[in-house]
Amino acid sequence: MTNLRLTKQLADLPEPLDEFADPVQEAVNAVPQPVRDVLDGVWLGNPLHPALTDVPIGAWSAAFALDLAGSTAADDALAVGILGAVPTALTGLNDWSHLKDDSRRIGTVHALLNTMSLALNVASLVARKDGHRSLGRVLSGVAYAGTLFSAHLGGHLSFGLGVRVNRTAFESPRDRYAPVCDESDLNGGKLVGVELESESVVVSRSEESGEVCAIAATCSHLGGPLHQGERDGDVVTCPWHGSRFDLCTGEVRGGPAVYPQPRYEARVRAGKVEIRAAKDSKD
């Protein structure tokens, strides 16, 4: 069975999974935003969950190898993986709370498999401490197989479905100014959505400095339309999951987005707003 067929079948899993997912997502979305920003990795400037997954996967890989070598150090590696799995699961749950449709279902299977693997590894550690080393090895071996398949699903979520990939990563800079709207369109603090060579841009006038500002309109989190967002001073809130960005610099003011919006240079000529990609936009 090809990977594509398998993941399609997982995405077609039955509705009870959705019924289970709705209230869980609702509960996670009620967690205070500052806590969620920490879990998202806003402070790090990169998604936190993928980085943390290295700890349990690495530790459990070491445990598997040490078990094969007959070393009791496998127990310590198993324990490190269990400890590392807790923050990893919390950040994963936070990431998953924004998903829907296929990616949500595959994410649900990913989470259930990880939970099962964690429970088996805990049971394995208990069995080892009680002197049942063979049983412990079997339990952690099964858990390791589940972890590997789940890691594969996590990779598919990122690379196949684009979860937590910077949605502005492929915008190409344009170095010459092009007219995009009338200056008068910005009156009244309006956010104006325009297209520049098939890239969506949101143009506005700063309430603080009065300058004309422009940033990419496709939210770096999951692609929400920022020109339809709500404005508060010089900050726009994404209408999809509430990330907040500075309308002039593109900097992240609040998660779940962790990547800033590309910025454009803007000027006014003969009543027309002209923009071009800022040279430092992708630094």
Q: Interface with ligand FES by CB under 6 A: which residues? A: 98, 219, 221-224, 238, 240-243, 256-257
Asked whether 110 and 7 are in contact (CB, 8 A), the reply is no
**What would the two tokens of residue 56 be?**
């349990």
Q: Please, what is the minimum distance in Å from the beta carbon of residue 220 to ligand FES?
A: 8
Asked whether 276 and 264 are in contact (CB, 8 A), the reply is yes
Whichever of 44 and 73 has its CB closer to ligand FES, that residue is 44
**What would the two tokens of residue 15 be?**
């509705």
Q: Residue written as tokens 């937590």?
A: 164
- Dihedral pair phi/psi, residue 274, rounded to 5°: -115, 140
Whichever of 77 and 222 has its CB closer to ligand FES, that residue is 222
Looking at the DSSP bridge assignments, the partners of residue 272 are: 182, 269
Alpha carbon distances (Å) from 88 to 47, 70, 185, 216, 249:
12, 28, 46, 31, 31
Q: Residue written as tokens 């060579």?
A: 197
> How far, in Å, CA of 266 to CA of 80, rounded?
52
Q: Please, what is the minimum distance in Å from the beta carbon of residue 6 to ligand FES?
A: 27
Whichever of 177 and 240 has its CB closer to ligand FES, that residue is 240
Whichever of 132 and 231 has its CB closer to ligand FES, that residue is 231
Question: What does the radius of gyration of the chain's CA atoms come to, in whole angstroms?
Answer: 23
Whichever of 136 and 254 has its CB closer to ligand FES, that residue is 254
Q: Please, what is the minimum distance in Å from the beta carbon of residue 241 to ligand FES?
A: 3
**What would the two tokens of residue 231 be?**
């404005």
Whichever of 96 and 144 has its CB closer to ligand FES, that residue is 96
Q: Please, what is the minimum distance in Å from the beta carbon of residue 200 to ligand FES?
A: 13
**What would the two tokens of residue 215 be?**
């940033």
Q: Please, what is the minimum distance in Å from the beta carbon of residue 99 to ligand FES?
A: 10
Whichever of 221 and 276 has its CB closer to ligand FES, that residue is 221
Q: Is 194 helix (H, G, I), strand (E, B) or coil?
A: strand
- The DSSP annotation for 202-270 comes to EEEE-TTT--EEEEESB-TTT--BGGGSEEETTEEE-TTT--EEETTT--EEESS--SPPPEEEEEEET
Whichever of 78 and 214 has its CB closer to ligand FES, that residue is 214
